[in-house]
């Protein structure tokens, strides 16, 4: 079965073709960083307009690269939430229309489910059950994953997502957009021990997260220092260490509570090198296998949507022609295909 996947939930247009026998045949990403960078964050209306501009040409390119004309696509998968409504509508309208024109089934995909299954695109792929740490610009959560559509959310952020905290702290430090890679880069030159950031909500039981306090601590620290390269590097390093440490403490707790023996990390912040190192240490400490998608599949992409689409369409997940998008949509609402 050959699936076209379309991702337009935020500021990346991702398109891919996944084949259930041959694997990933082609995938491409059109990033909107240049569109949003002058504003220091994502402007929803500009995101939607840019998806409209690039999506169809990107679909054509990816189909050519995959060596398949439309007649060889067996199904279409598009992200229908959570995300920015205008941006989601572009992918949903195009995906649904292409499926109608090609007379093939289509399915709406939950963006976080696609992230969560993304490590399965790799040769070394996790089997169920596993603990998933999903860390992106919009979400931070730990889930007990028993199968496709069988997710129990164990804990999530009560305020900012961890990626959002990276982005806001980077902006404050004048490091630009997107903030995650910029903080990670600046932190390489910094001393993580000079400032002691809090590890929010780790002093009480439970698996929820809070990251707005880290951002506030960064604001206060920045106010007390000249923002030269040294101080910026030290604040970035201390912030990153605190964010990563907090994720580690909760992941360790969740592994102990569930006795799960596999840990999957996904979402944009999963590309963070320091987080990956610390999770590797945790996996040795607890004798747990750790799985990470390659960097380009941590951040938003079409491949994960095509893969999740295959998982659902192979079980007959075709949906009605009338489509909708769900800007807010809990992972816990999903059911097996």
Q: Which residues bind ligand KG4 (CB under 6 A)?
A: 10, 136-138, 163, 166-167, 178-181, 184, 267-269, 271-272, 299-300
Match 């893969």 to its residue by tokens. Answer: 307
Instruction: Give the closest residue to 162 by CA, choosing from 239, 264, 222.
Output: 239
Residue 126, binding choice from Zn ion, ligand KG4, none, Cβ under 5 to 8 Å by partner class:
none
Helix (H, G, I), strand (E, B) or coil at 320: coil
Which residues partner with 30 through β-bridges?
A: 13
Helix (H, G, I), strand (E, B) or coil at 257: helix
**The dihedral of CA 226, 200, 132, 138: what is its sign?**
negative
Nearer to Zn ion, 19 or 300 (CB): 300
Looking at residues 133 to 192 of the shown chain, list those that interact with Zn ion (rule: CB under 5 A): 136
From CA 42, how far away is CA 53, in angstroms rounded? 17
With contacts defined by CB under 5 A, name the span among 25-33, 231-239, 292-300, 327-335 that binds Zn ion: 292-300
Looking at residues 124 to 143 of the shown chain, list those that interact with Zn ion (rule: CB under 5 A): 136
Task: Write down the least CB distance from residue 74 to Zn ion, Å.
Answer: 25
Nearer to ligand KG4, 116 or 254 (CB): 116
Nearer to Zn ion, 136 or 246 (CB): 136
Task: Write down the least CB distance from residue 21 to ligand KG4, Å.
Answer: 28
b vs e for 148-179, b when ≥16 Cβ sit within 10 Å of the residue's Cβ? Answer: bbebebbbbbeebbbbbbbbbbbbbbebebbb
Residue 181, binding choice from ligand KG4, Zn ion, none, Cβ under 5 to 8 Å by partner class:
ligand KG4
Report how far Cα 72 is from the mean position of its chain's Cα atoms.
29
Nearer to ligand KG4, 19 or 160 (CB): 160
Task: Write down the least CB distance from residue 166 to ligand KG4, Å.
Answer: 5
Q: Is 80 in the site for Zn ion (CB under 5 A)?
A: no
Residue 14, binding choice from Zn ion, ligand KG4, none, Cβ under 5 to 8 Å by partner class:
none
Report how far Cα 68 is from the mean position of its chain's Cα atoms.
28
Task: Write down the least CB distance from residue 5 to ligand KG4, Å.
Answer: 15
Q: Is 8 in the site for Zn ion (CB under 5 A)?
A: no
Residue 271, binding choice from ligand KG4, Zn ion, none, Cβ under 5 to 8 Å by partner class:
ligand KG4
From CA 167, how far away is CA 176, in angstroms rounded? 8
Task: Write down the least CB distance from residue 300 to ligand KG4, Å.
Answer: 4
For residues 121 and 304, is the Cβ–Cβ distance under 8 A? yes
Residue 231, binding choice from Zn ion, ligand KG4, none, Cβ under 5 to 8 Å by partner class:
none
Task: Write down the least CB distance from residue 123 to Zn ion, Å.
Answer: 23
With contacts defined by CB under 5 A, name the span among 158-166, 186-194, 235-243, 294-302 that binds Zn ion: 294-302
Length of the chain counted residue by residue: 337
Q: What is the dihedral of CA 203, 205, 209, 210, to 10 degrees?
A: -40
Which residues partner with 106 through β-bridges?
A: 76
Task: Write down the least CB distance from residue 57 to ligand KG4, Å.
Answer: 22
Instruction: Give the closest residue to 166 by CA, choosing from 143, 142, 187.
Output: 187
Which helix (H) or strand (E) segment holds residue 213: the answer is helix 212-223
Task: Write down the least CB distance from residue 267 to ligand KG4, Å.
Answer: 4
For residues 81 and 8, is the Cβ–Cβ distance under 8 A? no
Residue 178, binding choice from ligand KG4, Zn ion, none, Cβ under 5 to 8 Å by partner class:
ligand KG4
Q: Pick from 2, 142, 300, 323 the residue near Zn ion by CB under 5 A.
A: 300
For residues 337 and 316, is the Cβ–Cβ distance under 8 A? yes
Write out the residues near Zn ion by the rule CB under 5 A.
Answer: 136, 300
């Amino acid at each position: 079965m050959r699936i076209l996947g379309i991702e337009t939930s935020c500021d990346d247009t991702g398109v891919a073709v996944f084949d259930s026998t041959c694997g990933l045949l082609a995938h491409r990403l059109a990033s909107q960083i240049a569109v949003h960078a002058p504003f220091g964050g994502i402007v929803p209306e500009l995101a939607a307009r840019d998806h409209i501009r690039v999506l169809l040409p990107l679909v054509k390119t990816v189909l050519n690269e995959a060596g398949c004309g439309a007649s060889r696509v067996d199904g279409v998968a598009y992200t229908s939430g959570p995300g920015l409504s205008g941006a989601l509508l572009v992918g949903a309208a195009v995906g649904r229309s292409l499926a109608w024109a090609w007379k093939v089934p289509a399915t709406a995909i939950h963006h976080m489910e696609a992230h969560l299954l993304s490590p399965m695109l790799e040769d070394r792929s996790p089997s169920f059950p596993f603990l998933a740490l999903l860390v992106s610009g919009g979400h931070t959560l730990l889930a007990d994953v028993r199968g496709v559509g069988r997710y129990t959310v164990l804990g999530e952020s009560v305020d900012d997502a961890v990626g959002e905290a990276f982005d806001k702290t980077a902006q404050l430090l004048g490091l630009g957009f997107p903030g995650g890679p910029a903080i990670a880069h600046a932190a390489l030159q910094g001393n993580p021990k000079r400032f002691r950031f809090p590890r929010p909500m780790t002093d009480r039981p439970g698996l929820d997260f809070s990251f707005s306090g880290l951002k506030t601590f960064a604001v206060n620290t920045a106010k007390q220092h000249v923002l030269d390269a040294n101080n910026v590097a030290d604040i970035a390093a201390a912030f990153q260490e605190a964010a990563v440490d907090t994720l580690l403490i909760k992941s360790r707790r969740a592994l102990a509570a569930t006795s799960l023996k596999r840990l999957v990390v996904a979402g944009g912040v999963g590309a963070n090198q320091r987080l990956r190192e610390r999770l590797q240490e945790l996996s040795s400490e607890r004798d747990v296998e750790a799985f990470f998608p390659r960097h380009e599949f941590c951040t938003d992409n079409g491949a994960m949507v095509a893969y999740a689409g295959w998982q659902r369409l192979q079980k007959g997940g075709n949906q009605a022609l009338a489509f909708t998008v769900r800007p807010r949509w809990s992972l816990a609402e999903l059911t097996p295909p």
